[in-house]
Amino acid sequence: MKMNNKFERIDREDVISVYSGQILVNNRTFTVSEFILVMMSLIREKGGALTEEKEKWFAEGVECKILKPGAKRWQRGQVRLSLEFTPEALEDVETTENDESSASKSSSPLDDIRQMMPKNN
């Protein structure tokens, strides 16, 4: 499976279904909003009340500065938490879909019986 590594931010109402490696959410299928609610709940448990300042991590972000490798100085800005997604390369998806459709077109145990039945045309 070839990924393009161009991650995109996903919206709060988007639905995610993970194959394995569940984290924080007990279900394999969940919305981004559900994931964020669980994260906020964990923050409450670990750090007391969920203050307006803590909620900013998930909304508009919090002020920060970042130092990137090779940079000569810190850059000021904001940071926030979000989930991101990168789709498989299109050619891999098409190949997988073609394999699945040809598998479904392959002979079924019922094909022999269907051919023996008279056609009602």
pLDDT score recorded for residue 54: 84
* Model pLDDT for residues 77-110, shown as the tens digit of each residue: 999 888 889 988 776 555 555 555 555 555 565 5
**Whole-angstrom distance, CA of residue 121 vs CA of residue 118:** 9
**Whole-angstrom distance, CA of residue 23 vs CA of residue 63:** 27
Residue 56: name the closest of 74, 68, 43 by CA: 43
* Domain spans of the chain, in order of start: 8-67+74-87
